[in-house]
């Protein structure tokens, strides 16, 4: 996610700097590409055999890396446990997630550096997804060097819009291991919009439907007067062409009568399924054979097999439109991105939902890399930016836990980034000298229903009465979508901060589930928040009155003491119930019966402060 202002407002063109080689890299689940400027035009680079796509596969042996790309992929059936494919899907995942998922059946896993850094067990030792990704990036950087004769000075690397902080951090770390300087992490749908927007220069509302090998993103962008703004984004981090292959593979197993498929046989089965699926892109029928069974898969059967997956993509589109408060009639263009969008069943479903034929003028496999390459040329300083601005959004709300286990959202979902927002908080207890901050992500009102990101403590707060201290909490999301949080106490300048680097990412589909829950349980959440706030206000008042009675209870009459004790008892009893309206009413009653007591205490405090002072002295001090 990024905010790209390519030129200073009102400024002239910058003086041409020394040319530096920059590139855009689409680090894909199934295939990866690199694009750079050649002859004044950004193009994807081919290998020695003329192939632009680098299969995202690495073959490991006892001596280390044996092959990368097509050569590695060709060895997948012969040595499935040592040919790692779709490593992008493993970025930011826990060991439990990788073991539970069905997309890594050929592999064994090693805890590696711990639960937060699982690794594939290979003949070369444990290799985590970051190391696999770094090897692929190294191969792309080498291709750039061989094709252009120049060292790569920097790259814009694309990521799915729904990649969370951990996945983005690991992508950046992979680039560091590969010796590639990251100019920017850019959302894949945004990169595609850059390529199309620059080519066409049109204005309107644009849907970018990006279905790759392993991830699905759909983004709604608005192009107005040179400003690209992402109005809403959605998708599924565990949906892509691989899942359609998996569905065909399951159909083949059922047709062949096989009871089970051993893990080493899965790569070969998936290759058969993939060939059949791709064949149906331009034919009505595909001949298939598996374990002695021969038959045909026709377009109608594939449509039925693929229906649940297609439905998931359209549901994501519907949510994005609802989030933006827009209907499909307001969409001017639909762009197809990702090799899986070549499937007729996808193109038909997209056309039907949006009521228009989608555009695929630019090769859907290359468009993301080309958009990233265009941005790389600008960010490295080789090209002026032109007159457009890119505004991406934060996909989930970010906030902190407050008393009562409530969530105070600092940066709301779909806020344009980069962004920095601050909010002031205070202490809850008298004499409080430290504040524990819990950073959370999600749309629900209670902390327990959101995702914990980080915890840190601000110390050095001067002891004051509750509510007197002022602590400014600042959330900052940078152009790569990475979060930092700081807290500063106003009177002393005491400060603490944290860079949010969660140990592993969201479960598959968790982002969508979080959004779905926030909608389905909105009424319950509102009631829970009202109850939490009512209890918090009641607790604060009861603590204050109890402390006041302990200090100055002697100024209370017996009748006043009785009224306050009764109101306290009734409120404590109500606190055990889930009736926010009753708690609020009893809080008001307690406030009323203690009002005279509070006034007398204030008069006593004022009298003590003025004792022994002359009017002249007070006038001089006031002056």
Q: What is the pLDDT of residues 60-117, one digit of tens each?
A: 999 999 999 999 999 988 898 899 998 988 888 777 777 665 567 678 887 655 444 5
Q: Is the pLDDT of residue 236 over 50?
A: yes
C-alpha to C-alpha distance for 267 and 274, rounded to whole angstroms: 10
Look at residue 286 and tell me if it is in a domain. Answer: no
Could you give the percent of the chain with pLDDT greater than 90? 29
The C-alpha angle with vertex 55 and arms to 143 and 186, in degrees rounded to 5, equals 75
Tokens representing residue 206 in the block:
């644009």
C-alpha to C-alpha distance for 57 and 423, rounded to whole angstroms: 46
- Statement to judge: residues 539 and 515 lie in one domain: no
Query: For residue range 289-311, what is the model confidence (pLDDT) as tens digits?
Result: 887 889 999 999 999 999 999 99
Q: What is the pLDDT of residue 225?
A: 61
Q: How many domains does the chain have?
A: 3
Instruction: Report the CATH number that the domain containing residue 587 is assigned in CATH.
Output: 1.20.1270.10
Q: What is the pLDDT of residue 111?
A: 66
Q: Can you tell me whether residue 106 is helix, strand or coil?
A: coil
Q: Can you tell me whether residue 415 is helix, strand or coil?
A: coil
Q: What is the pLDDT of residue 586?
A: 83
User: Which of 334, 359, 392 lies at the terminal end of a domain, its last residue?
Assistant: 392
Tell me if 461 sits within 8 A of 492, measured CB to CB. yes
What is the residue whose two structure tokens read 């003329």?
Answer: 50
Q: What is the pLDDT of residue 1?
A: 30
pLDDT level of residue 518 (50, 70, 90 thresholds)? low
What burial letters (b/e) apply to 595-623, b meaning 16+ CB within 10 Å?
eebeeebeeeeeeeeeeeeeeeeeeeeee
Q: Can you tell me whether residue 254 is helix, strand or coil?
A: helix
Q: What is the pLDDT of residue 152?
A: 94
- Statement to judge: residues 188 and 210 lie in one domain: yes
Q: What is the pLDDT of residue 116?
A: 45
Q: Which residues contact 25 (CB under 8 A, 6 or more apart)?
A: 32, 33, 34, 35, 137, 140, 155, 156, 157, 158, 180, 369, 372
Top-confidence residue, 411 or 513: 411
C-alpha to C-alpha distance for 509 and 130, rounded to whole angstroms: 21
Query: For residue range 447-488, what is the model confidence (pLDDT) as tens digits?
Result: 887 888 888 888 888 888 877 888 899 998 876 677 888 888
Q: Which residues contact 200 (CB under 8 A, 6 or more apart)?
A: none
| Spatial CA neighbour of 264 closest among 88, 80, 536 | 80
Strands (E), 272-362: 285-290, 293-298, 333-337
**Side-chain half-sphere of 422: how many Cα atoms within 13 Å?**
10
Cα-Cα-Cα-Cα torsion 414, 338, 359, 389, nearest 10 degrees, comes to 40
Look at residue 283 and tell me if it is in a domain. Answer: no
Tell me if 60 sits within 8 A of 84, measured CB to CB. yes
Query: For residue range 439-448, what is the model confidence (pLDDT) as tens digits?
Result: 888 887 788 8
- Statement to judge: residues 361 and 502 lie in one domain: no
- Statement to judge: residues 157 and 62 lie in one domain: yes
Look at residue 293 and tell me if it is in a domain. Answer: no
What burial letters (b/e) apply to 263-297, b meaning 16+ CB within 10 Å?
eebbbbbbebbbebbbebeeeeebebebeeeeeeb
pLDDT level of residue 389 (50, 70, 90 thresholds)? low
Strands (E), 412-518: 416-417, 419-425, 435-441, 451-458, 471-477, 483-489, 495-499
User: Which of 520, 553, 584 lies at the terminal end of a domain, its last residue?
Assistant: 520
Tokens representing residue 117 in the block:
């850094």
Q: Can you tell me whether residue 108 is helix, strand or coil?
A: coil
- Statement to judge: residues 384 and 398 lie in one domain: no
Look at residue 593 and tell me if it is in a domain. Answer: yes
- Statement to judge: residues 569 and 448 lie in one domain: no
C-alpha to C-alpha distance for 103 and 321, rounded to whole angstroms: 30
- Statement to judge: residues 575 and 514 lie in one domain: no
Tell me if 505 sits within 8 A of 92, measured CB to CB. yes
Look at residue 615 and tell me if it is in a domain. Answer: no
Helix 580-593 × helix 558-575 angle, to 10°: 170
Look at residue 267 and tell me if it is in a domain. Answer: no
Q: What is the pLDDT of residue 502?
A: 44
| Spatial CA neighbour of 536 closest among 575, 563, 506, 505 | 575
Q: What is the pLDDT of residue 431?
A: 82
C-alpha to C-alpha distance for 203 and 223, rounded to whole angstroms: 5
Residues found in the chain = 623
- Statement to judge: residues 366 and 400 lie in one domain: no
Q: Is 172 exposed, middle or buried (0-12, 13-18, 19+ CB in 10 A)?
A: middle
Instruction: Report the CATH number that the domain containing residue 97 is assigned in CATH.
Output: 3.30.420.40
Query: For residue range 322-368, what is the model confidence (pLDDT) as tens digits?
Result: 988 999 999 988 999 988 999 999 999 999 999 999 988 889 999 99
Q: Which domain holds residue 596?
A: 523-610
Q: What is the pLDDT of residue 346?
A: 95
Tokens representing residue 285 in the block:
């029928």
C-alpha to C-alpha distance for 43 and 51, rounded to whole angstroms: 13
Tokens representing residue 218 in the block:
């759909």
The partner residues of 126 in beta bridges, in order of sequence, read: 121
Average pLDDT, the chain: 81
- Statement to judge: residues 504 and 487 lie in one domain: yes
C-alpha to C-alpha distance for 32 and 134, rounded to whole angstroms: 12
- Statement to judge: residues 164 and 60 lie in one domain: yes
Using H for helix, E for strand and C for coil, what is the string for 534-563?
HHHHHHHHHHHHHHHHHHHHHHCCHHHHHH
Q: What is the pLDDT of residue 449?
A: 77
Instruction: Report the CATH number that the domain containing residue 431 is assigned in CATH.
Output: 2.60.34.10
Look at residue 499 and tell me if it is in a domain. Answer: yes
- Statement to judge: residues 153 and 175 lie in one domain: yes
pLDDT level of residue 436 (50, 70, 90 thresholds)? confident
Query: For residue range 255-290, what is the model confidence (pLDDT) as tens digits?
Result: 888 777 777 788 888 889 999 999 988 888 999 888
Q: What is the pLDDT of residue 501?
A: 52
Look at residue 581 and tell me if it is in a domain. Answer: yes
Tell me if 449 sits within 8 A of 517, measured CB to CB. yes
Q: Which alpha helices (H) appear in 164-239, and where do they start and end?
A: 165-177, 188-200
Q: Can you tell me whether residue 481 is helix, strand or coil?
A: coil
- Statement to judge: residues 571 and 476 lie in one domain: no
Q: In what order do the strands lie in the sheet with 83-85?
A: 64-68, 57-61, 83-85
Q: Is the pLDDT of residue 530 over 50?
A: yes
Give the strand pairing for 64-68 and 57-61.
antiparallel
Q: What is the pLDDT of residue 506?
A: 45
Query: For residue range 554-587, what is the model confidence (pLDDT) as tens digits?
Result: 777 788 788 888 888 888 888 778 777 888 888 8
User: Which of 501, 520, 539 lies at the terminal end of a domain, its last residue?
Assistant: 520
C-alpha to C-alpha distance for 279 and 140, rounded to whole angstroms: 28
Query: For residue range 133-143, what is the model confidence (pLDDT) as tens digits?
Result: 999 999 999 99
Q: What is the pLDDT of residue 321?
A: 94
The Cβ of residue 547 has, within 10 Å, a number of other Cβ atoms equal to 14
């Amino acid at each position: 996610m990024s905010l790209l202002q390519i030129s200073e407002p009102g400024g002239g063109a910058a003086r041409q700097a020394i040319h530096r080689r920059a590139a855009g890299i689409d680090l894909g689940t199934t295939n990866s590409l690199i694009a750079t400027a050649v002859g004044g035009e950004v193009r994807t680079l081919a290998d020695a055999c003329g192939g632009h796509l680098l299969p995202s596969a690495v073959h490991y042996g006892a001596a280390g890396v044996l092959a990368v790309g097509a050569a590695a992929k060709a060895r997948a059936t012969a040595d499935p446990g040592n040919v790692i494919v779709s490593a992008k899907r493993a970025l930011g995942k826990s060991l439990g997630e990788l073991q539970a998922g069905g997309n890594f059946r050929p592999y064994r896993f090693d805890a590696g550096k711990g639960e937060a850094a699982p690794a594939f067990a290979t003949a070369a030792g444990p290799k985590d997804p970051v190391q696999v990704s770094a090897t692929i990036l190294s191969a792309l950087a080498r291709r750039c060097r061989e094709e252009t004769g120049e060292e790569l000075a920097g790259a814009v690397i694309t990521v799915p819009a729904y990649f969370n902080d951990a996945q983005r951090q690991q992508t950046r770390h992979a680039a560091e291991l590969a010796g590639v300087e990251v100019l920017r992490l850019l959302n894949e749908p945004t990169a595609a919009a850059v390529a199309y927007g620059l080519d066409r220069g049109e204005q309107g509302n644009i849907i970018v439907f990006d279905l790759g090998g392993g991830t699905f993103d759909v983004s709604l962008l608005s192009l107005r007067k040179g400003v690209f703004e992402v109005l809403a984004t959605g998708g599924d981090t565990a949906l892509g062409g691989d899942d359609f292959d998996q569905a065909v593979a399951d159909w083949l197993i059922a047709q062949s009568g096989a009871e089970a498929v051993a893990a080493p046989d899965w790569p070969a089965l998936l290759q058969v399924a993939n060939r059949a699926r791709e064949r149906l892109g331009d034919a009505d029928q595909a001949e298939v054979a598996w374990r002695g069974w021969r038959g045909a898969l026709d377009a109608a059967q594939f449509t039925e097999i693929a229906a649940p997956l297609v439905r998931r993509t359209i549901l994501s589109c519907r949510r994005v439109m609802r989030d933006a408060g827009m209907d499909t009639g307001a969409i001017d263009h639909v762009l197809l991105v990702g090799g899986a969008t070549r499937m007729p069943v996808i193109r038909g479903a997209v056309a039907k939902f949006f009521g228009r034929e989608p555009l695929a003028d630019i090769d859907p496999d290359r468009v993301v890399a080309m958009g990233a390459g265009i941005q790389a040329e600008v960010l490295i300083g080789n090209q002026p930016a032109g007159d457009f601005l890119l505004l991406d959004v934060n996909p989930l709300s970010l906030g902190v836990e407050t008393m009562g286990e409530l969530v105070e959202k600092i940066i709301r979902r779909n806020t344009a980034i980069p962004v920095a927002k601050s909010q002031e908080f205070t202490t809850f207890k008298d004499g409080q000298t430290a504040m524990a901050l819990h950073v959370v992500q999600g749309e629900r009102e209670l902390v327990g229903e959101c995702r914990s990101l980080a915890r840190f403590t601000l110390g050095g707060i001067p002891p004051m009465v509750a509510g007197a201290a002022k602590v400014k909490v600042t959330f900052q999301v940078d152009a790569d979508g990475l979060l930092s949080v700081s807290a500063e106490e106003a009177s002393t300048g005491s400060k603490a901060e944290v860079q949010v680097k969660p140990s592993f990412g969201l479960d598959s589909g968790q982002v969508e589930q979080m959004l779905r829950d926030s909608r389905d349980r909105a009424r319950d959440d509102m009631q829970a928040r009202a109850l939490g706030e009512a209890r918090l206000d009641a607790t604060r008042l009861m603590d204050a009155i109890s402390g006041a009675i302990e200090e100055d209870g002697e100024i209370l009459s017996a009748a006043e003491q009785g009224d306050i004790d009764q109101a306290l008892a009734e409120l404590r009893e109500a606190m055990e119930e889930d009736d926010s309206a009753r708690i609020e009413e009893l809080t008001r009653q307690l406030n009323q019966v203690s009002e005279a007591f509070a006034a007398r205490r204030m008069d006593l405090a004022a009298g003590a402060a003025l004792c022994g002072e002359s009017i002249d002295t007070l006038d001089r001090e006031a002056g």
